Amino acid sequence: MSAQPRQTLPPVRLHPEAELARTALSTSLLSHAVRLARWAGPAIRVGAGGELLDEQLPQAAEALGLGSDPDGPAHASQAWRVAVDAGLVEVTEPEDVERDADEGGFASAEPGEDLALVTGGAPADVLDLWLAALDSVIADAAVPDLDDLVDALDAGGGIDFDQLDWDPQREADFLEGVLANLYLLTVAEGGSGEAPVPLPVLAASMVVPEEMGDPTEEVLERVSDAMMRLDDQFRQLEPIGLVEFRPVDEALLAEADDEEFGEPGSGAFGEGEGAEEDVSRYGLVRLTPLGLYGIRSRMMDAGVEAPAIGDLADKGAEALLDAVSGFSEEAALAEIELWLARREGGELPEAVTRLLAAARGGDEGGPLRRLRCQQALALAGAVAEPAVRGVLADPELGGLARVWLAEHGAADVPAPDGAVVFWLTVDTLAAQLAAGGETEELSGLMANLTDRHTGFFDEVWRVEHPAAAEVLEAMGRLHPDRAVAKEARKAAFKARSRQH
């Protein structure tokens, strides 16, 4: 899969492998491929490239129960290609067959060794078969309509790519890019993949330059062309279970002329009255849980870091807090919960101790690590109390510990002094800035803090926290009261001067 290496994506929620394997075997295309692999035998003659002969396609369609379907032979041909490409069928060329130089001769096909994995393999084996089948289907989907290929045949029987205006590598890269964008749009929404993506949005993500404002007529025409290509390609990708797809409404195509199809305000780009309804008529696509697994696997093979929730369950506390500091809060909590669940029982108290140790540090990532640690302590529950009490005297963790103990109704919690309170305040604001940026919610939190503490800025600029100046500068930008914001900027200047 074409992709830039060393990219990191948000984590995705994957279904269990056993569930995904069952789904893979139930997809129409792979299940057809398995049936044809079992149907294969010495009597089956295939072309030199492993393709079924035309006269055997009706028999293959009958084997699939598609004998009365006019498209049965075409479905059988595709399923056979998938079976061969996935290793479910083994094509052999007997040594005693003399090949005709003009006709190319014939080979034979029998069930391949990998067919046994369908019933006897582990879920991971079944998913490997499905991934091989997916590779075959994606490769086919990147090829233009066969009628166009026939029209582009040159005198020698080859393909005139100039006439076809088709570059195989360019087309393959385009489809790979589309699938990568669909994956990114999915995981950016929390990794569940529940919301479908409008086809115009996906097409525009490949065609419209990021810096462009209103798209030009030329760009809109390219988006429309891309939409129709994707409409055809997703129809081919749905039978392998990669996507759930609602095609472009054929009635809409019949009603609209070429100019109306791509006009701004026509509904294709989510503009104008009734845009929501119109966008759905231009096609909707959603990666299935199996599709999320498949595209993630392909992206990882291409060198892209594509984490999944649960990947960190067997890692150390340091690796956990470092990684989830870059996750959304929802994904971080899910990952932490799985990490703690792996250590239920006697290991949990020691795990809490390791989390607290990993949360320390005056580096830039320290505040967010401590926020994630605090969230982990909340999930751990009462078992965390001994470890939390053990850090009450820690200058970085003492305030966090007091908050946790107070929230859990613990007795004998020592009252914090002013230094602890203001250090924790700075640390909390720094963590919120790192996690969510400069939000309205954070602005409200800042206003609440200054309202509750008289002389807030006189104390905060003196705090021995590496993020004190940064937090005060943010307060100068975000605080809703202009006079208070000015005080924050003055305090930030003092903090910077003190640090230097």
- 490 phi/psi in degrees, rounded to 5: -65, -40
Dump the DSSP string for 241-300. TSEEEE---HHHHHHS-HHHHT-TTSSTTS-STTHHHHHHHT-EEEE-HHHHHHHHHHHH
At 262 the pLDDT is 47
Spatial contact of 57 and 46, defined as CB atoms under 8 Å apart? no
* Residue 496, burial from CB neighbour count under 10 angstroms (0-12, 13-18, 19+): middle
Q: Please, are residues 87 and 129 in contact by the beta-carbon 8 Å criterion?
A: yes
Nearest-CA neighbor of 112 among 142, 141, 92?
A: 92
Consecutive 10-residue runs of the chain (500 residues): their mean pLDDT? 52 94 97 96 84 91 93 94 94 60 66 94 97 95 64 54 66 91 83 76 86 77 88 95 91 58 46 55 92 95 91 96 91 95 92 97 94 95 94 94 92 87 94 89 90 87 92 93 93 86
Rg (CA), the chain: 30
pLDDT for position 156: 55
For residue 11, the model assigns a pLDDT of 92
List, for residues 259-311, the tens digit of each pLDDT value: 444 454 444 444 444 445 567 788 999 999 999 999 999 999 998 889 999 99
Q: Is 482 helix (H, G, I), strand (E, B) or coil?
A: helix
Question: What pLDDT is stored for residue 224 in this prediction?
Answer: 86
